[in-house]
Amino acid sequence: MSAAQANKVGLATATIIGINAMIGSGIFTAPATIATNIGPAGIVAYIFVVVAVWFMALSLSRLAMLYPQEGSFYTYTKPWAGHVGGLIAGGFYLVGLIVAMGLLSRVAGNYLHHVIPSLSVHTLGLFTLLSIVVLNLFGVALSQLGQHILIVTTLFPLVATTILCFFYADLSNLTPFAPYGFTNVFKATRIVIFGFFGFESAASLFSVVKNPAKNVPRALTYSILVVGTVYTLFITSIISSVPMELFANPETPLSEIIAHLIPENTWIINMIHFAILSAIIGTVHSMVWGSSMFLLDLAKKANNNAKQYASNMPKRAHQCAVLTVGAGIYLAFDSIDNLSLFFFITAACIVSAYILSMMTLLFDKKEWQTFGIVKTLLGISTGLMILYFSIEGLVIEVISMLSN
């Protein structure tokens, strides 16, 4: 066995990497919106998204094997859409990440307001965002220990909330199952998929996994199954235990909603509250770092001067990227008031990047000679459906805002 092969990870480790890439604080923003707009049938939407994400993940992992160069969405899209198409795909993905971080910054403000009620949600969210940007400007990235702490603070409230809520589950809360119609179940995918974003980074594990052609698809399948099961149980436990009327305000912190179940044990709720808050802040911190690196890489692809500047002054170039990303997050945070708009814009942008990338496989004649093309077609089809409902929701919300 070569030294390079010996340093590669096995299936179990690859699966854990996939779980870590997907599971995140985004799941805590969904329950209230799901309950308010879909009802108990939102559980079905999670199951559908698990299948859709699996098809898309397998297609993106295939692209990662065929195009192992740096650049991800730019590199994946360029073979069929050219340089400009690659930049558009990368731009869509970056905008989606920035809007998602705007939402999480706002949610962080909501959770901090529970602790510091004397300050407004907007002020606390802005303070959180500024603090994270400053840390990134000074090159403070999450260490490996920090990443481990982040996954613990994410898993703890997920597991604790699920167990707690199942103890208070009442089947009567599941009826009517689809009070807003089953069409809304498919519309809910534009919200549900928010919690799964990140699987695309796990799809490009070919350089670090032993026997990647076999183990990467298996690792993705196992990790998506694990995360999908955890998310589905989480949302089921909440919807089955909490009366729908408690979800009247989608921006109410989840910990405050489930506090109605055990008003006498506030210490448990406080633990869950702080765990969710730390998970959200940690996620935004790592996303600012990752998005800045992605922006810098995209800029180097777009312009030779940017590439030279990044080579000559790497620290300064990264700081410029952090400031640019931070400004974008602030713009989303400050200008978007409707919580649904965050979900719709994020889903529309990131899913567009997925679809543009997967299209490359349709132009490869060899792909049409394998069963993999069926998975690609299903991935593109499910992606287009989620994109359609995301754009539909976005248009409806914008028209509503303009009419008011």
pLDDT of residue 93: 96
Mean pLDDT (whole number) for 154-172 = 91
Contact assessment for residue 214 and residue 61, using Cβ atoms and an 8 Å cutoff: no
The model's pLDDT over 172-181, given as tens digits with 9 standing for 90+, comes to 888 889 888 8
Residue 231: give its domain's CATH number: 1.20.1740.10
Mean pLDDT (whole number) for 49-71 = 87
Amino acid letter, residue 221: T
**Mean pLDDT over the full length of the chain:** 89
Tell me the C-alpha distance between 10 and 103, whole Å: 35
- Could you tell me the two tokens for 110? 């909501």
Mean pLDDT (whole number) for 220-232 = 93
Angle at 119 between CA 118 and CA 124, to 5 degrees: 145
- Phi, psi (5° rounding) for residue 209? -110, 140
- pLDDT band at residue 388 under the 50/70/90 scheme: very high
Nearest to 113 by CA among 104, 100, 103, 123: 123
Tell me the C-alpha distance between 64 and 78, whole Å: 13
pLDDT of residue 206: 81
Mean pLDDT (whole number) for 1-17 = 71
Helix residue ranges per DSSP H, 168-265: 183-187, 189-192, 199-202, 212-241, 254-258
pLDDT of residue 343: 94
Query: Residue 114 above 50 pLDDT?
Result: yes
- Phi, psi (5° rounding) for residue 180? -110, 15
pLDDT of residue 1: 43
Cβ burial of 317 (10 Å; 0-12, 13-18, 19+) is buried
Length in residues, the chain = 404
Rg (CA), the chain: 21
Weakest mean pLDDT among 3-17, 264-278, 330-344: 3-17
Tell me the C-alpha distance between 379 and 373, whole Å: 10
Amino acid letter, residue 200: E
Mean pLDDT (whole number) for 339-364 = 95
Nearest to 291 by CA among 190, 166, 397, 141: 141
- pLDDT band at residue 3 under the 50/70/90 scheme: very low
Amino acid letter, residue 369: Q
Mean pLDDT (whole number) for 196-200 = 88
pLDDT of residue 70: 61
Which residues touch 232 (CB under 8 Å, ≥6 apart)?
A: 43, 46, 47, 50
Mean pLDDT (whole number) for 364-381 = 93
Which residues touch 264 (CB under 8 Å, ≥6 apart)?
A: none
Helix axes 121-137, 73-115, angle to 10 degrees: 130
> What is the tally of structural domains in the chain?
1
Cβ burial of 190 (10 Å; 0-12, 13-18, 19+) is buried
- Phi, psi (5° rounding) for residue 9? -95, 160
Query: Residue 16 above 80 pLDDT?
Result: yes
Which residues touch 278 (CB under 8 Å, ≥6 apart)?
A: 150, 153
Say whether 362 sits in a helix, a strand or coil: helix
- Could you tell me the two tokens for 84? 């400009």
Tell me the C-alpha distance between 180 and 115, whole Å: 35
Range of the domain at 269: 3-403
pLDDT of residue 373: 94
pLDDT of residue 352: 97
Nearest to 76 by CA among 58, 97, 90, 92: 90
Q: Percentage of the chain surpassing pLDDT 90? A: 51
pLDDT of residue 202: 78
